[in-house]
Amino acid sequence: MVVMKFGGTSVADQTAVERLIAIVRAQRQADAQQEGGDARGPIVVVSALSKVTDRLLGIAANAGAGDIEGAQTNLRDLRQRHKAISKVIVDAVQREQVIQFLDQEFDGLERIVQALAVLREVSPRWLDAIAATGELLSSRMVAAALRAHGLLAAWIDARRAVVTTGDHTAAAPLFPETTSALMAHVDPPLAAGRIPVVGGFVGATTDGVTTTLGRGGSDYSAAIVGACLGAGEIQIWTDVDGMLTADPRIVNDPFVVPHLSFAEASELAYFGAKVLHPATIQPAVARSIPVRILNSHRPHARGTLITGERPPSSRPLTAIASKKEVSVVSITSTRMLMAHGFLRRLFEVFERWKTAVDVITTSEVTVSVTIDDRRRLPAIMEALSEFAEVDAEHDMAIVCVVGEGLQSDPGLIGQVLQGVGDVPIQLVSQAASRRNVTFVIREADLPHALNQLHGQFFAAEPAPAGLA
Ligand code: ADP
Ligand code: ASP
Ligand code: MG
């Protein structure tokens, strides 16, 4: 059984949904051929329509600022866009029902937004209730569209399928509870030969309060569902041909990496390769489920396959990930040398303020860390300054170069660092695994540094365009 996740651009409009239907149909037929009459699935996980989550968060911001008119205008636009697409992707039989569902959700949203605009405060709990609407709507629409095209789809309310902690806007799945929920709500339609369609990104606490898994979290939903139900493969359908050797928005000529190990993929995802949510790999690793990244615009392209191990490659480096909008916090012990317990106190501060640190480097007296969530930085700096001198630099970027060659060739790290040319490097870190080298530069230098580095180590695409 395969879990197929379609990202925002893969459900953006009528054409995208038609492509999705063809892809799901092909998978269904392939499964039926392989398994005979007992084919199960696939399970379809969908994101909100392209850009809808951003718009919904914008509406929440309108409400928080007391801007009722702004919120209403934006809501009206969104309602219209969903209705217009529904009218063309859903057949006459289901249309009324789907439009009614959309109206009911948008009416509810309007009431919430009005109340919040009066209070001028949007708590994380309400932010989740608003943001989750995108996936609840898109999944309902896609289920109806699949049915309209003769595929037996069943809409599943994600709030009944994925059970999470109450950490709003970044909830974590509760695996035993989610497995039970999936057995109760998703397994029966699967067993009856139907194709469950569930919104990604969304879950609910054991008390039924709506939560979300964090931005880009639909990939994570697919992996959670796949792991809990023991899927044979998790497919991430997106708008690029797979995991590319570098971010295509920054580097001119990146190409597809055909095969990645779980470890490589998780490092690339963690350090900025947006095509995969960093947490996605974790449930897949636990169950050794292969993950495939595929392009819904070019369904026959080979894509990227991610498995526990991968065959050796002739290239010393696999790919480069990068992450913008990073801050470097440098903490210098006021007692000159790192007193006993200094590191513990230091990291306790970040833990207390629930702020994850990514890269860490230490010298005799200074510890530098990078963070990408600056919301609690003032409080963190205040707490750190009780026992250290603290300094923060913003507008920085992390570059993470991944490759097995870093392990086998001790000279490679030097070549990589030289590869960025005259761009000043602030921090460098290499883990004991020596699978990657990570460094921090100014964000303004990122395009130049990445293109230099990429040009040097990924000069030409090894294989033809990657068509199967
Ligand atoms: P979806 O909506 O399908 O989840 P995302 O926008 O989250 O899609 O992720 C796909 C995008 O990730 C691509 O369009 C690309 O711009 C960006 N991206 C960044 N780094 C990489 C990379 N190394 N390989 C592929 N895509 C990348
Ligand atoms: N719609 C959500 C977001 O934009 C989740 C996702 O697309 O993965 O963050
Ligand atoms: Mg995504």
Question: Is 81 touching ligand 2 by the criterion CB < 6 Å?
Answer: no
Tell the residue nearest (CA) to atom 6 of ligand 2. Answer: 216
Alpha-helical (H) ranges within 306-403 are: 342-352, 377-384
Give 168-193 pLDDT, tens digit per residue.
999 999 999 999 999 999 999 999 99
Is the CB of 203 within 6 Å of ligand 2?
no
| Residue 141: other Cβ atoms inside 10 A | 26
Whether 48 lines ligand 2, by a CB cut-off of 6 Å, is yes
For the chain, helix (H) and strand (E) counts, in that order, are 15, 16
DSSP string, 160-223: GT-BB-S-TTS--B-HHHHHHHHHHHTHHHHHTT-EEEEESSEEE-TT--EEE--TTTHHHHHH
Q: Is residue 468 very low, low, confident or very high in pLDDT (cuts 50, 70, 90)?
A: very low
Mutate-to-test residue for ligand 1 from 238, 280, 399, highest number of ligand atoms within 8 A of CB: 238
Q: Whose CA is nearest to atom 5 of ligand 2?
A: 216
Joined together, the tokens standing for residue 119 give 């209070």
Cα-to-centroid distance, 50 and ligand 1 (Å)? 13
CA distance 230 to 283: 10
pLDDT in tens, 236-276: 999 999 999 999 999 999 999 999 999 999 999 999 999 99
Asked if 454 and 320 touch (Cβ cutoff 8 Å), the reply is: yes
Helical pair 377-384 and 342-352, crossing angle rounded to 10 deg: 150
Q: Cβ of 340: how many Cβ atoms within 10 Å?
A: 7
Are 295 and 304 in contact by the 8 Å Cβ rule? The answer is: no
By C-alpha distance, which of 348, 325, 447, 297 is closest to 397? 325
Measured from CB, residues less than 6 Å from any atom of ligand 1 are 7-10, 47, 216, 238-240, 243-244, 246-249, 273-275, 319
Q: Which residues pair with 203 in a beta bridge?
A: 211
210-212 vs 153-156, strand pairing mode: unpaired
pLDDT > 90? residue 467: no
Give the model confidence (pLDDT) of 414-465 as tens digits.
999 999 989 999 999 987 778 899 999 999 999 999 999 999 999 866 555 4
Q: Provide the percentage of residues in the chain whose pLDDT is more than 90.
A: 88
CA 315 to ligand 3 centroid distance, Å? 27
Cα 223 to middle of ligand 3, angstroms: 13
Beta 427-430 vs 360-362: how paired, if at all?
unpaired
* Smallest-distance ligand from the CA of 45: 2
Distance CA 250, CA 108 (A): 40
Distance from C-alpha of 151 to C-alpha of 26, rounded to nearest angstrom: 11
Determine the average pLDDT of the residues in 43-55: 98
Ligand 1 centre and the CA of 230: distance in Å?
Answer: 26
